[in-house]
Structure 1
């Protein structure tokens, strides 16, 4: 079968803030009889992912088992979702070979989007080689021409920035956040742009560049005045200002 699930439909069905409703939508879509068998199976992999976000790991694994044996894009998605399940359940060492398998299969099939997805997950699961896997993902991305795939650049640079922050390298992290923000302005969604700018301001605060950080967070607050992360950053910036000796 040469039919496959369109990524734009996945985007429309997914709400990562509400995995219960997402799982229901994927189940309904997969039950539509006029869909190709492969497309229904791909939808089921996303239902498994939504179950995993609810920490229903055994159910998710059983659903993926029911889709085996698999070839092509379905095999890639199954390996990806099995890896995500193990990452979410704290079993990252078990996730790494699954993501490596997904990356190898996606490369073999010439599927840039899923290859980048697999490499980006490896950068999360395999923390000691995060820089390597991010570089691999960015190399894959060079072949992308469609905007939806190119948006991975925002996520990749943002995640790399977070990893550098965790490792105590805020100056290097700032460079990654700035690159993520630039990519978001070029190809990102409104949500990606908002969070890329928030991450940039957060890092500026950690570096003591509070005036720049405050200006950004105030602008973001005007856009989303009740967002808890923006409120927290403004509070931290206000507290920092109060500790400065006159």
Structure 2
């Protein structure tokens, strides 16, 4: 098992995670954390991901307990991940305002630590949790991701544009939503996974259908 630099390589976390199977992800993350070659910081990072897997199973008490075990950790990456996962848990538990506070803390910590991937993750989560400023956070995340040269970090553009599209779709801004979905599809073709490409195509199809239904309704109304 390979670890790189001051934080666990995102490629390894991608291999350990299956967001459709959080219980299986929990087992893989626990096995990885038992690796005797890990540093204390690497083990702590994996604990934050265990907390995330527990939260996805609605095991919030266990998830918060896992994060609480890391509260005294001074590693900047671990502190950033603790703030991020605290925010995700708060948001999943129906407390978006508290979640947004945690995500803003994660954003500041990631920026101070020079961790671009985690900085964009925090912006991505703020765009979800902070309804009032969601579009602003999404735009900031897109701008940050576009400045990156690393393909895995730039992949955030798929999620950011897709989420912005759904925000616009839900607001009834269908033409703007379609623009965002098409941009997400372009990034998915360039950088994304097969699943992301499928989601992008489905979003475009749903938005185009909604635009067609709106046009048909307008036509009926004008002909009445």
What TM-score, normalized by structure 2, do the two folds share?
0.90
Given the alignment of the two structures, is residue 75 of structure 1 paired with residue 79 of structure 2, yes or no?
Answer: yes
Given the alignment of the two structures, is residue 167 of structure 1 paired with residue 171 of structure 2, yes or no?
Answer: yes
8 Å Cα contact 2:6/2:77 also seen in 1: no
Unaligned runs of 5+ in 1: 211-246
Instruction: Report 1:23-34 matches (<5 A).
Output: 23-34=26-37
8 Å Cα contact 2:83/2:105 also seen in 1: yes
The residue aligned with 1:6 is: 9
Given the alignment of the two structures, is residue 105 of structure 1 paired with residue 109 of structure 2, yes or no?
Answer: yes
Aligned match for 1:51, one of 54, 62, 74: 54
Mapped to 1, the partners of 2:195 and 2:25 lie a distance apart of 19
Q: Give the alignment's Cα RMSD to 1 decimal.
A: 1.5
Superimposed CA distance per residue, residues 195-243 of structure 1 (whole angstroms, 9 cap, x where no aligned partner): 1111111110111179xxxxxxxxxxxxxxxxxxxxxxxxxxxxxxxxx
1:142 Cα deviation from its structure 2 partner: 3.0
Mapped to 1, the partners of 2:84 and 2:42 lie a distance apart of 16
Given the alignment of the two structures, is residue 133 of structure 1 paired with residue 137 of structure 2, yes or no?
Answer: yes
Q: Which runs of 4+ in 1 moved over 2 A?
A: none
Mapped to 2, the partners of 1:140 and 1:3 lie a distance apart of 21
The residue aligned with 1:148 is: 152
What TM-score, normalized by structure 1, do the two folds share?
0.82
Mapped to 1, the partners of 2:112 and 2:87 lie a distance apart of 19
8 Å Cα contact 1:112/1:143 also seen in 2: no
Mapped to 1, the partners of 2:72 and 2:172 lie a distance apart of 44
Mapped to 2, the partners of 1:143 and 1:177 lie a distance apart of 20
Instruction: Report 1:182-193 matches (<5 A).
Output: 182-193=186-197
Mapped to 1, the partners of 2:114 and 2:103 lie a distance apart of 16
Q: When the two structures are aligned, how many residues end up with a matched partner?
A: 210
Bigger mean CA deviation after superposition, 165-174 or 150-159: 165-174
The residue aligned with 2:222 is: none
Unaligned runs of 5+ in 2: 215-224
Given the alignment of the two structures, is residue 85 of structure 1 paired with residue 93 of structure 2, yes or no?
Answer: no
Mapped to 1, the partners of 2:155 and 2:196 lie a distance apart of 9
